[in-house]
Amino acid sequence: MNSIFANRISDVPRSFIREILKVALDHSVISFAGGLPNRELFPVEEIKKATNKVFEIYGSDIFQYSNSEGYSGLREMIAGRYFEKRKLKIPIENILITNGSQQGLDLLGKILVNKGEGVIIEEPGYLGAIQAFSIFKPTFYPVAVTGEGMSIKRLKSVMSSTKPKLMYTVPNFQNPSGISYSEKNRYEIADILENTSTLLIEDDPYGDLQYSGTCKPSFKTILPKNTVLLGSFSKTIIPGFRLGWIVAPDNIMEKLIIAKQASDLHTSHFTQCIIYQYLKDNDLEAHISKIREVYGIQLKAMLDSIKRYFPEEVSFTHPQGGMFLWVTLPENTSSRELLDLAIRDKVIFVPGEPFYVHWHQTNTLRLNFSCVDEETIQVGIQKLGNAIKQLLI
């Protein structure tokens, strides 16, 4: 019997995190699983004021259809911030507002990737990107992520043997590992991709969440012709509004707009105007500073607790920002088996499997620290440390 479903959806994996977060609905469970911003830091009162002001300014027009590219005032603010923070001159015509950066991945896949064409992906890599691109049936070329960034040896090997369409990267506080590409690594990658047709996607949802170290150059600075940027307000203002954007050159932007029109006509004009008004009336940098302070304390609490409660043979990354760190258990141990033990003690995390293109048993796991206070972090990590010790017996 023929399936009613299209071939493109047949082997696209469900989001493992969405499934595991169902366990977190039990409030007695300590969750290190989600990539959720801390709700205590949402600017609720400021958003209320911005919303009321939007009604006063626009009236019923705020509920009307709008253009596909996005609200020009908001795009101007995004462009201004790129110049202020990165010294990048981005015309607003090269900015498209999307329903989160996840839609950006979908639109880029739609206009660029044919079945079987190559997509370079970090390993471990962002499972949302793996899921989004899997719809288009590419040939994935995983490239290992080390403490310095992408494996240059592996990247050279891939580029010498094939001509990938895309290369997807999260160079700042990568999801899931928390590492950042070093400046040297970025320039080595740029040298490899220079004078090729491979498009580098720089997804940067965590770039503002830096707690130590120095800011590294964007690929848009060192590889301008080949780089497309993805950005989002989800990690700095409100995730539920689903507001993100793409920065792309003219020829790509033309096709992106067509794909956007075919997908949803436009992103909510209402929420765009609210965010614009919020940005206009408030100091975003002051708000982000509060987030950095809280998350920095929570990261330190997690690192200190890991050092105290995990066995010495367990290794882990030391992020300078973002929302995650990556744990590696001793060889021949299973993070999925560890999850089973941890759930019994009311602790959850994400085992490493879904962050790889080809799922297999791994000894790795991702921990999130942004949604858990210091005391709970200590309790949860102690429980997880006990579970690890039990696993290693």
pLDDT in tens, 74-121: 999 999 999 999 999 999 999 999 999 999 999 999 999 999 999 999
pTM here?
Answer: 0.94
Q: Domains of the chain, with CATH numbers?
A: 7-43+286-392 (3.90.1150.10), 46-281 (3.40.640.10)
Q: Can you give the pLDDT at residue 6?
A: 85
Mean pLDDT of 228-239: 97
Using H for helix, E for strand and C for coil, what is the string for the chain?
CCCCCCHHHCCCCCCHHHHHCCHHHCCCCEECCCCCCCHHHCCHHHHHHHHHHHHHHHHHHHHCCCCCCCCHHHHHHHHHHHHHHHCCCCCHHHEEEEEHHHHHHHHHHHHHCCCCCEEEEEECCCHHHHHHHHCCCCEEEEEEEECCEECHHHHHHHHHHCCCCEEEECCCCCCCCCCCCCHHHHHHHHHHHCCCCCEEEEECCCCCCECCCCCCCCHHHHCHHHEEEEEECCCCCCCCCCEEEEECCHHHHHHHHHHHHHHHCCCCHHHHHHHHHHHHHCCHHHHHHHHHHHHHHHHHHHHHHHHHHCCCCCEECCCCECCEEEEECCCCCCHHHHHHHHHHCCEECEECHHHCCCCCCCCEEEEECCCCCHHHHHHHHHHHHHHHHHHHC
- Please state, for a pLDDT cut of 70, what percent of the chain lies above it: 96
Q: Can you give the pLDDT at residue 20?
A: 66
Mean pLDDT of 343-362: 91
Q: Can you give the pLDDT at residue 5?
A: 85
- pLDDT tens track for 1-45: 467 888 888 777 676 666 666 666 677 899 999 888 999 999 999
pLDDT band at 212 (very low <50, low <70, confident <90, very high): very high
CB 17 within 8 A of CB 127: yes
Q: Can you give the pLDDT at residue 21?
A: 65
- pLDDT tens track for 61-77: 999 999 999 999 999 99
